[in-house]
Structure 1
Amino acid sequence: MTTSRIALLAFGTALGIVTTQPAFAKGVLRYGMAAQDVGTMDPHRATTTPDKPITGWLFNGLVRFRPGSDDIGALEPDLAESWTSNADGTEWTFKLRSGVKFHHGYGELTADDVVFSLKRAGNSATSAFSADYRSIDTIEAVDPLTVKIKLKQPIPSLLGLVANYHGGNIVSRKAAEEKGANFATRPIGTGPFMVKEYVPQERVSFVANPAYFRGAPKLDGIEYRYIPSDSSRDLALKSGELDVTYGRQDEQWIASTKAAKGVIVDIMRPAELQQIHLNTKSAPLDDIKVRLAVATALNRSEYVQFIGANLAQPARSVVPAGNLGWDGSTPVYGEGNAAAARKLLAEAGHPNGIKLRMVQTSLPTMLSVAQVAQAQLARAGITLQLDVVDHQTFHAQIREDRSQVVYYSAARFPIADVFLTQFFHSASIVRTPTASINFSHCAVADDEIVKARSEPDPAKQKQLWATAQKKIIAQICAVPLYEQLIAYARRDNVAWGYELKAEMHLGPIVTELTELK
């Protein structure tokens, strides 16, 4: 064992985060993530930054974003080799590649697997993204290699729903039905890598899929290690114990990491929109003047300073910049005026301030942002009680409507409809039969959101999306804080095999072309 490995083991053991170290083949990429453990490897449930990159290694969609790109205009064939649609975009037919094989002997991909997967993605009992699929009327297997999808009405993002992203990932029907809940840690897809071993709170080991339809991977496998300590991951990267690591989201980390010998920092899109959602049905937030006080007390520029200009920019709408349909023409609150916020509270009948409850994840990067918000609000006499829980519990409780204030970080398929529908349409209000992630109980822009989906004129469609954003901002359903890019670091012998500018999976995708030089 090398001296550096002995040092790392001693350091990690002292912190209680590193246990046994597996033996590595020469071509195994060692990838460090800032998390205690896996949440899920089920692509229809994977919502977190630590879980999303994995789905990109294991699964494919009917179409895909090019590796390293988030360009919705450049989607290309994946499991489908071709597709057609009727004139009004309500009927789509996909022809599948022949001979695509699932991992670990689960047979060849057929249209039945695609139908099963997309119906599973549209079922709230089996998917975190079910709301995205409400416009689908029927999905049928015309023959073993042909799938037909009929829509209730045209939508602006059908290809996005069948891309290699969120619910568009295709799973093995046989494996999903056979494994049940165990599919979360024993998933079966068609991607370039497949799960070999899962060690709780330590790592997931992946091996190359020699039958991958684009060709056998250049790597032998991947070791995805869970190392929540930033300093431990940094040490592991610089000592050569890791090849890739999730980065700290601050300027100092970027500068120090770039200065390290043999290390490269990758900064990529999409920018995750960081927003504070306010429950407009929960007193005292049911008073718009109180919501205005909260929005006035928050200070966007402090977040940009806290995170760093290389990684963050002030948010200008409740939809991320760069999304098709984004509109930044309406001024948003968040200038950090504590005196003005106190005055608003007094006018609303709260001269002694208010107390709000916020369920908050223990993920360090998100917890630190919540603590900044807590400090900003305290200056205005607003006490923000943080109930800190693990990340899975956080997601469960905010969907149970147990938090008056929800801090949520999100990137979605880059069309305004997706963000507006999930966060701000009344059908998405949490704890309703059609719930998604509308934590604010906002319902002021339903008409515009719905009309925009089937508007054939692109200019009119964009105007409807702009009006929806204006209404949501005016009602202060949420306070957009900042947009944050994603930073990773790698040893300089890691070659992704593509130009990394963006990645919808919120982390570099390891493809069949990725290698260790």
Structure 2
Amino acid sequence: MSTALLMTLAAPVAAQTLTVAVPGNDLGTLDPHRASATLDKTVINWMFNGLVRTAPGQFRLDTIEGDIAESWTNSEDGLDWTFALRRDVTCHGDNSPLTARDVVYSLKRAASPETSSYSGDYSALETIEAVDDHTVRIHLSRPLPSVLGLLVPFNGGAIICEAAGTRLGEGFGRNPVGTGPFEFAEHQAQQFVRLVANEDYFRGSPHIKEIVYRYISSDSSRDLAYQSGEVDMMNGRFEESWVTRTSALPNTTVDVIGPNELHQLHLNITQPPLDDIRVRQAIALAVDRSGIVAFRGPSLTIPATSVIPSGYLGYEAQPLPERDVERAKALLAEAGHPDGIELRAVQTTLPAMLTTMEVVQAQLAEAGIRLNFSLVDHPTFHEQIRQDLSQVVYYGAARLPVADIFLTQFFDSDSIVQKPKAVTNFSHCGVADQELREARNEADPEKRLKLWATAQRKIVEAVCAVPLYEMGQPWAWNSRVTFAVPQEGSLNLSPSLDETTRLAD
């Protein structure tokens, strides 16, 4: 353990220091408009506000309430939205007042592919203007299925302070400045991120005065740190046995935080041999979803049923193929590969993902599909898969629960990695472009749902990806931690630590 961390844990304020342990080696970025890794989003969740938010401890869009905005109105056609801002919101650090100008800067930043990984989500925001210091007006070029959903502090919806964003530039991800209940204080590479209470938070000074967010990649070490009392809260193992064992510990609460992430294999359909649909079909037939769910455990996972998570607006279950190893072998032979094939995959060493991929690797091997791993740490994994270095990308994701956003980020041809508007289309799939574009411009909700359903069917039939399972995030915390509300989940997949969360002495 580092000297800095020992000093932190031994400090006089230790009684009000919450120590959180997560798997992984280090952060990627704490820029909310750039971050895509779950572990980065977890800590971002505690530092930023949006114009609106889902209610604390909730992730459903029907719980949306005001955050930085105290009220809003919209036109009858849904194209014009006006937000009245609170007057008591200040920026971390210098306590400068947050104004409409900061909101305009943030949303324009979120909409720019040069500064955001989520720019495509905000393409319909035609104009964003400050009417005065405390009023923001947004005009849309087309109707959106969930305007307010885009304005929660999740991905592009997080509001940052313009002065810091301008001053820090690319360095903002290592020195983030927001307005939330906790503010960034320190980062020790491969060890921890430290946050401190925002004593001037507009909802009141947090009871917790410090959060130490520790990176402990070893599952056993993380468990031991929790059991010894060195850690108060931890992101757990994605194993049924871990849930059962940890739930039995004294003074411990275990919860699986929603919304579910969808885990699937993205197949680069432009690279041989994956450019042959018979090869992709063979992969889909070689995978055993029920076996993966049994391995991960029913408390954590359910089988995937489409290329977007269940429960999203626009989701429709698809007829995914059942496992048939002999049929998979026959398809490979028909495609000219009677002795099987070899594929390469950049693979994170993050334990939960690596162990799952090892199960998939073994399943594919039974059909003669040899999947070779290039093992890298998690930040490098995110970097290299965006450089198009992996024929097969195993990726788990939750997004704002609207079909358009998930389908656009993973399956719209504009989102193909290495393109100017690249997001996370690792498969180079564009078979549903027409439906996705028509759905974005369709005002009739029923017609929009049908277009999204057709898009899902086309993507499944083309085997751009092989859906595996859906999974929540396992968390455990000790009896020192008391939440003011039940923790059903959050869009950022972590418990909602805020000004109301308390620590016992």
Q: TM-score, normalised by structure 2?
A: 0.96
The 1-side partners of 2:362 and 2:237 are apart by: 21
How far residue 22 of structure 1 moved from its aligned partner, in angstroms, is: 3.2
Aligned equivalent of 1:240, options 221, 225, 229: 229
Find the aligned partners of 2:407 and 2:447 in 1 and give their Cα distance: 16
Matches within 5 A, 1:77-226: 77-226=66-215
Structure 2: how far apart are the matches of 1:190 and 1:358?
39
Q: Residue 106 of structure 1: CA displacement?
A: 4.6
Q: Cα distance 1:411–1:498, how it changes in 2: closer, same or farther (>3 A)?
A: same
Residue identity in the other structure for 1:395 = H
Cα shift at 1:216: 1.0
**Is the contact made by 1:106 and 1:172 (CA closer than 8 Å) also made in structure 2?**
no
How far has the Cα of 1:276 moved from its partner?
A: 0.5
3-state SS of paired residue (1:54): helix
User: Matched residues in 2 for 1:434 and 1:208: separation?
Assistant: 36
**Contact in 1 for aligned 2:199/2:206 (Cα 8 Å):** yes
Deviations 1:377-412 (A, max 9, x none): 111111111111222222222222221111110000
CA RMSD of aligned residues (A): 1.6
Q: Deviations over 1:114-147 (max 9, x none)?
A: 1111111122222221221122212111111111
CA contact (8 A) 2:25 2:377 kept: no
1:457-483 deviation line (CA, Å, top 9, x unaligned):
322221211111111111111110000
Identity %: 50
Q: Quick check: 20-29 or 502-511, which moved more?
A: 20-29
Q: Report the CA distance between 1:283 and its aligned residue.
A: 1.1
Query: How far, CA to CA, are the matches of 2:209 and 2:369 in structure 1?
Result: 54
Number of aligned residues: 501
1:292 aligns with 2:281: yes
| CA–CA distance in structure 1, aligned partners of residues 286 and 6 of structure 2 | 44
From 17, 33, 44, the counterpart of 2:22: 33
Asked if 2 retains the 8 angstrom alpha-carbon contact of 1:312 and 1:482, the reply is yes
Contact 2:45 / 2:494 at 8 angstroms: preserved in 1? no
Instruction: Spell out, residue by residue over 1:326-373, the C-alpha distance to the aligned partner (whole angstroms, 9 max, x if none).
Output: 101x2112x332221111100111111111111112211111122222
Deviation readout 1:20-54 (Å, 9 max, x if unpaired)? 76324111111111121122211111211211121
Aligned pairs (5 A) from 1:455-474:
455-474=442-461
Q: After superposing the two structures, state which structure 1 stretch, 461-470 or 307-316, moved more.
A: 461-470
Tell me by how many angstroms 1:417 deviates.
Answer: 0.8
Distance in 2 (CA, whole Å) between partners of 1:128 and 1:361 is 20
Do the aligned partners of 1:187 and 1:195 also contact (CA within 8 Å) in 2? yes
Q: Which residue of 1 aligns with 2:468?
A: 481
1:493 matched residue in structure 2? 480
Match of 2:230, SS?
Answer: coil
Of the structure 1 ranges 456-465 and 490-499, higher mean CA displacement relative to structure 2 is found in: 456-465
SS at match of 2:38: coil
Residue type at the aligned position of 1:59: F
What is residue 309 of structure 1 aligned with on the other side?
298
The 8 Å contact of residues 33 and 117 in structure 2, kept in 1 or not, is answered as: yes
Distance in 2, Cα, partners of 1:374 & 1:511: 41
Partners of 1:198 and 1:216 lie apart in 2 by 23
Q: Structure 1: give runs of 5+ residues left out of the alignment.
A: 1-8
Q: Alignment partner for residue 435 of structure 1, among 407, 422, 436?
A: 422
State the distance in 1 between where 2:109 and 2:85 align.
19
- Report the TM-score, using the length of structure 1 for normalisation: 0.94
Matches of 1:432 and 1:210, distance apart in 2: 43
Alpha-carbon distance in 1 for matches of 2:262, 2:275: 24
For structure 2, the residue ranges without an aligned partner over 5 or more in a row are none
Range that drifts further, 21-30 or 485-494 = 21-30
- Aligned residue in 2 for 1:363: 350
Q: Secondary structure at the match of 1:138?
A: strand
Q: Structure 1: how far apart are the matches of 2:10 and 2:174?
A: 21
Residue 3 of structure 1 corresponds to: none
Counterpart contact for 2:113–2:420, Cα < 8 Å = no
Q: Is the 8 A contact 2:435 2:454 kept in 1?
A: yes
